[in-house]
């Protein structure tokens, strides 16, 4: 298998996925109530389409002989998510506070595109190392995706959401402190004008303002902190609640049914044939639905970033009007330099996140798979190896939009860097798919 063929095949898979996703943007613009409609579509995808595809595929492909492959897919999903969270935690310690939420959000997903669900369909029939790519790849990828979704949801509930709520509370308290401090300065300025007439008022007002500052700071410090036992119980409750999601339950139940011969009788019984046949009719609608949701996610992120940019522009115009007063030229120049520095910081942050999520994590996972294979610890099935490699570099089938929508943690900061992450994901996926095809095809 030549290098040119591998690159062309990888590029065709990526471009077909992107073109289908752009159709979601086109449709979303013409929906009357886009927010309500997309929430309904996302719920249907999680409760009907994806569970149907998962059940139909895994029950047909899971056997007792390949149970080790499913266990390894579970390990690889945990490895990639754990690595991403650790990298996000390390990166957060090196960056300003306004980026901490976006960095933690990056730990939820490996990428922003849905190549994980489209690649097995587009690769079916491809010859790799005298073996043909079959539907087993899709079964492994779907199981990997269910585990990845479970971990992503738990991270979103236990790590990202509490952190963003805490940051929101801190910003509110900071705003209150600034308001009190600003009011104190105004009172001091007014009293300084009439200092000769009312000499005592200034000290009284200043003392009152100082007391207000101290009172507000005490409120911030006296917030109740949950105990360690309550945190553990809350964490267990979140994990238990997430584990009851249809797609997760169906994934594990499908593996159990597939590897248990007595339970397979349910599938070949007349009732089972009717149920599975009905699920097949809607199962493969998951692919276009996921691509549609990705297009919606991208457009919604751009709209959120545009709204934030408009609000920021209005603030900058008001600041510019105030800066036009005499004696404020130096402050205006400083504000312009700060804006340039913020843009530069955004670019550096996007590059760092893209490198961690799209290159460093897949690289370490690829090296880990090579090490395990060199010691004959992995199954030799080419479909399993391809699914493991696709899973560690491509995202899960569950689009990030579903996690954001359910947790309400889509932040304006992350919406600004999402297009950059998408562009990075396109390039990285083409590169990694080419490397995988060369490795497996040789």
Q: How many domains does the chain have?
A: 1
Q: What CATH number is associated with residue 268?
A: 1.20.1530
* 353 lies in some domain: yes
* 221 lies in some domain: no
Q: Say what the pTM is.
A: 0.77
Residue for token pair 């300065």: 185
What is the total residue count of the chain? 442
Mind listing the pLDDT tens digit for each residue in 167-195? Answer: 555 555 655 655 555 556 556 555 565 55
Instruction: Output the pLDDT for position 367.
Output: 94
Contact 79, 368 (CB under 8 A): yes
Residue for token pair 């990285």: 428
**Domain span at 137:** 3-182+239-312+345-441
Q: Could you tell me where the DSSP H helices lie in 244-328?
A: 246-259, 261-268, 270-283, 286-323
Residue for token pair 């999402």: 418
Q: How far apart are alpha carbons 205 and 207 in whole angstroms?
A: 5
Encoded tokens for 75? 């390990």
131 DSSP β-pair partners:
128
* 281 lies in some domain: yes
Q: Would you tell me how many other CB atoms lie within 10 Å of the CB of residue 43?
A: 13
Q: Indicate the helix (H) or strand (E) that contains 132.
A: strand 131-132
Mind listing the pLDDT tens digit for each residue in 253-295? Answer: 999 998 888 888 888 888 888 888 888 888 888 888 877 777 7
* 405 lies in some domain: yes
* 171 lies in some domain: yes
| Window from 29-38, 169-178, 246-255, 352-361 with minimum mean pLDDT | 169-178
Instruction: Output the pLDDT for position 389.
Output: 92
Residues 6+ apart with CB under 8 A from 105: 160, 409, 411, 414
Quick one: which of 52, 118, 11 has its CA closest to 397? 118
* 340 lies in some domain: no
Residues 6+ apart with CB under 8 A from 295: 21, 22, 23, 24, 25, 26, 27, 28
* 368 lies in some domain: yes
* 160 lies in some domain: yes
Measuring CA to CA, how many Å separate 57 from each of 184, 249, 384, 440? 67, 15, 14, 23
pLDDT confidence bin for 94, thresholds 50/70/90:
confident
């Amino acid at each position: 298998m030549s290098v040119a063929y591998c690159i062309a095949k990888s590029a065709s898979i990526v471009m077909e996925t992107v073109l289908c996703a752009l159709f979601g943007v086109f449709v979303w613009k013409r929906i009357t109530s886009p927010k309500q409609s997309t929430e309904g579509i996302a719920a249907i995808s999680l409760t009907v389409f994806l569970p149907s595809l998962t059940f139909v595929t895994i029950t047909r492909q899971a056997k007792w002989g390949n149970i080790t492959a499913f266990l390894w897919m579970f390990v690889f999903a945990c490895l990639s998510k754990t690595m991403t969270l650790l990298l996000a935690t390390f990166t957060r310690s090196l960056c300003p506070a306004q980026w901490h939420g976006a960095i933690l959000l990056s730990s939820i997903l490996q990428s922003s595109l849905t190549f994980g669900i489209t690649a097995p369909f587009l690769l079916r029939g491809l010859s790799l190392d005298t073996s043909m790519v079959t539907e087993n790849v899709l079964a492994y990828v779907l199981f990997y995706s269910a585990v990845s979704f479970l971990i992503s949801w738990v991270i979103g509930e236990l790590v990202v959401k509490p952190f963003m709520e805490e940051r929101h509370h801190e910003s509110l308290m900071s705003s209150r402190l600034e308001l009190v401090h600003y009011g104190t300065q105004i009172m001091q300025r007014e009293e300084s004008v009439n200092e000769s007439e009312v000499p005592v008022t200034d000290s009284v007002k200043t003392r009152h303002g100082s007391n207000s500052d101290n009172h507000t700071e005490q409120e911030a410090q006296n917030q109740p902190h949950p105990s360690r036992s309550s945190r553990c119980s809350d964490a267990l409750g979140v994990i238990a609640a997430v584990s009851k999601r249809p797609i997760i339950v169906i994934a594990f139940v499908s593996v159990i049914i597939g590897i248990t011969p007595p339970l397979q009788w349910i599938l070949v019984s007349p009732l089972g044939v009717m149920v599975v046949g009905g699920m097949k009719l809607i199962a493969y609608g998951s692919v276009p639905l996921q691509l549609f949701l990705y297009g919606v996610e991208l457009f919604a992120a751009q709209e959120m970033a545009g709204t934030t940019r408009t609000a920021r522009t209005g603030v900058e115009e008001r600041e510019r009007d105030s800066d036009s007063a005499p004696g404020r030229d130096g402050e205006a120049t400083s504000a312009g330099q700060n804006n340039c520095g913020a843009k530069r910081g955004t670019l550096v942050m996007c590059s760092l996140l893209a490198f961690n999520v799209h290159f460093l994590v897949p690289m370490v996972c690829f090296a880990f798979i090579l090490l395990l294979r060199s010691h004959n610890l992995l199954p030799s099935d080419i479909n399993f190896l391809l699914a493991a490699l696709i899973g560690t570099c491509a995202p899960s089938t569950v689009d990030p939009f579903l996690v954001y929508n359910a947790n309400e943690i889509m932040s304006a900061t992350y919406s600004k860097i999402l297009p950059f992450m998408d562009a990075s994901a396109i390039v990285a996926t083409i590169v990694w798919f080419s490397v995988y095809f060369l490795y497996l095809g040789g």
